[in-house]
Structure formats: structure tokens, C-alpha cells
Amino acid sequence: MKKGTLLIIDDEEDLRMLIARVLELEEYKVYTASNPNEAMKILEELPIEVIVSDVRLEVANGVELIPEYKKRKPFAEIIMLTAYGNIPDGVNSIKAGAFEYLTKGDDNFRIVSVVDQALQKSRLSTKVFQVETPDTSGFEAIVGNSPVLDEAKKLAKKVAQSDASVLLTGETGTGKEVFASAIHEVSKRSKAPYLAINCSALSKEILESELFGHVKGAFTGAAQDKKGFFEEANKGTLFLDEVGEMPLELQAKLLRVLETGLFFKVGSTKELKSDVRIVAATNRNLLEESEKGNFRLDLYYRLSTFTIHLPPLRERGDDILLLAQHFANMAASKMGASKPELSKDLELFIQSHYWKGNLRELKNVMERAVILSDSGVLGVELLPQEFQKTSGSTDTGLRPNLAIDLQSLEKDHIANMLQFTGGNKTKTAEILGIGVATLYRKIQEYEIG
């Protein structure tokens, strides 16, 4: 059992690998990044508890990145590495929210003890939050009681007690990862690891390495052996999000693991065995994709031992208002504000809007409204600009029975979300519930400038 999970960010490869080796010998699970972009991807995908970052990165000032790290991992503690004798860097790091700073070379012997202390604080902060945030685990974390949602929860609770593979289908943003986590938490595997990976967010080579691991020297940059998710999640559950985006070559390797439990690390001839329960999710019709040659039919049948369809938000009746208030309360709690009230006009709009982005879109809109509100009452004037055109009527122009070009609708929706996030493609993909690779493909397809 690993002591904790941490990320090292440094553009000096020798120092980065040295620190990683020291901490791995202390039974830490260590991930490394040479630049902020790599770091942000890791923080979005993996459960990092401690971050060790250089102050003077080649492409950015590490101190200025502390708020971005915290935004992605609020309870992670950050340790900054400064140049010898550069005390102002260390002081500025502490002011920006770092746990501690260490001087390169001079403080190398302290790194293990400081990381240990940071890990303890990170876990204490997490526990305090969990105590102050009741009913957020298992199926209690799924807000709503509409008949269509209750049916999905009933099926999920039944299959959770078995070891059968589960395929979660439905539009983007309908809560598939929440369902996957809930299935794991009430299963007999709940004490073992639960790991999640987005199959569309990584290149084929990186995805293969993340799933199966690799041995030292398997490819350029493979400086040490690495365990993959199948090895790390042994006896537990592995959630494969957007499995329909997985390259065909990897689909064959995934099928073999599902059928035999056996796999090879990248670059190795030694066969390994893993006992992992698979929960997969997709917003695609995998049968249609198999007919097009994009998805293996035998893998589809293996994954879909038990299929659960998650309903879109617009079919969940009064759940929409319940969720809107829930997301608003969550945002207010993070800001230390009192619970906000939804105006009648906003309630009418929320109930009539099509919500193509489902839960993710609603959550994003409510968080924005809470941030902009000065009175504690949330009204339609706090909606994003693209919503204002339709907020004066219960007919939003987005109902599916109207004559609408759905491709144009999707194009406009993506363009609006890109504008809303200031062009941040990672954030936009998160809101839309798709992988970054899928977003880039859509941008190119629709020629979004």
C-alpha cells in the first residue's frame, strides 16, 4: 500500500527524477511533469495529495501557478523548490498558499519529512471537509428522485453487488462518473482502489502506458518502471470514461484483460494478472460504431454485460430545480456565503431550458450566478450572455420539436462555452463532458475560430 500520491513539477529532468526516486523509496506513488500543461492534466485526472514544484520553471513562474494548482486540487498541499539563497521566492510562495518551501541542494535531506507533514495536513483538510459535507458518498451523492433517475439507481444498486461489467450510456454530463463511483462504494470491492481514466483525453501511447504500465526503457522518457491502472486497481474498480474513443489497437488489449485477466506492461514480456471490475461509460452508440468499424463488437458485448442508461436532465422533471438549488448551495458554501434563493423567473427559465450539457452545464451556470450575485437572490440577469436571448420566454428556442439544425446548435454551444471559459479548451471540454481530443476535433470540424 502506497503512503500517498504526489506530483513533482520541474523542468530539470535530473533533479525531477532524483526527487521522484527518493520519494518512491519512501513508498510514495509519484507522478512527474516537466511543464505546467503536463501538470494540469495530471491534476485533473489523478488523486494528487501533495505537489512539489520548482519556483523558476522555464515557461512560467511557479508561485503564480499555485492558485491554479489549488483550483484543481483544493486539499493538496504545495511545496515549492527555490534556488539557493533566494529567500524572497520562498516567502512569496508561503503568501500564495504553499505549505512550505525548500532550497535546492541545501534542503534535500528535509524533503521526505516535509512531504510527510504536507500529506498529513492534506488528509486532515479532506476529512474536515467530508465531516462538514454530509450525504456525499455512494448513491447518496446522486441528487434527485424523478422516476427515470430512480429506475437507473435501482438497477445500479442491484448490479453493484455482483462483479459484472457495467456500461453506462447517455448524453454528456448526465453523471456517469458519479454513478460509477457509487457502484464501487456499495460493492464488495469498496475497500480496494477505485481509479478512473478518460480514454479520449490521452494519446494512444500515453493511454496504453497509463492502463498497463511500462518498464524502464520501453520508450523515450521511460526512466523507470511504472505500474498501470490495471495493476494499481487490483481487487478494485476501474472506470473507463468515454470508452468509445479508445483506439482499436488498445481495444484488443483491453478485451484480452477482460477475458483472461492477463496483460503485459509496455516493453515487457512478463505476463501479469489483475482482478479488476470494469465500469465503462460512453455517449456514443457503440453498436453503430462497431458497424462503422470504429469499435470492436466483441468488446462491446463484453463491456455491456449490464447496461444502464442515464436520463438527460430535461427528462428528470422537478429534479432540475432541486439540482439547481443544490449546485447553488455548493458554490455558496465554497465561498463562505449563505444559501442563495432562486427567483421565480430563474426557476421558469431553468425548467424550460433544453440543457444540452446536462448536469455539467447546469452546475457551471449556477456557480457563475452565485459568484456574480450581490443580493443572495439569483435571477435571470446573472445568466451567461448567450442565455439572455431566450430568458424572457419559457420557449427557449432549444426544444427538439422545433426545426433546428442540430449540428449548428452543437457548433454554437461549443463556441459559447469557449467564449465563456476565455478559450480554455481543458475547462471547456470538462463543462461539455467530452475529452480534449474530441473538443479539438469538433473545433476543426465546425471551423470554430
Burial of 447 (0-12, 13-18, 19+ CB in 10 A): exposed
Cell of 192: 480496494
Distance CA 320, CA 350 (A): 7
Q: H helices of 188-303, where?
A: 204-212, 229-232, 248-260, 286-291, 297-303
Would you say 195 and 239 are in contact if contact means Cβ atoms under 8 Å apart? yes
DSSP tag of 135: S
Domains located in the chain, CATH noted: 5-132 (3.40.50.2300), 138-309 (3.40.50.300), 313-446 (1.10.8.60)
Sign of the alpha-carbon torsion through 286, 288, 293, 294: negative
DSSP letter for each residue of 178-209 = HHHHHHHHTSTTTTS-EEEEETTSS-HHHHHH
Bridge-based pairing of strands 271-273 and 341-342 is: unpaired
Please name the amino acid found at residue 344.
K
Distance CA 8, CA 16 (A): 7
> 372 vs 44, 147, 327, 337, 382, CA distance in Å?
25, 34, 15, 12, 7
Distance CA 352, CA 185 (A): 34
* Residue in the block written with cell 533533479: 15
Q: pLDDT for 58-87, tens place per residue? A: 878 888 888 888 888 888 899 988 876 566
Per-run averaged pLDDT (10 residues), the chain, 449 residues: 85 86 88 90 88 86 86 87 70 81 71 88 70 59 90 95 96 93 94 92 89 91 89 95 94 95 94 96 95 95 95 92 92 83 91 90 91 89 75 40 47 77 78 71 81
Model pLDDT, residue 128: 58
Cell of 152: 437507473
Distance CA 22, CA 283 (A): 42
Q: pLDDT for 92-137, tens place per residue? A: 778 778 888 888 765 556 788 889 888 988 887 776 555 444 445 5
Provide the whole-model pTM.
0.60
Secondary structure (3-state) at 316:
coil
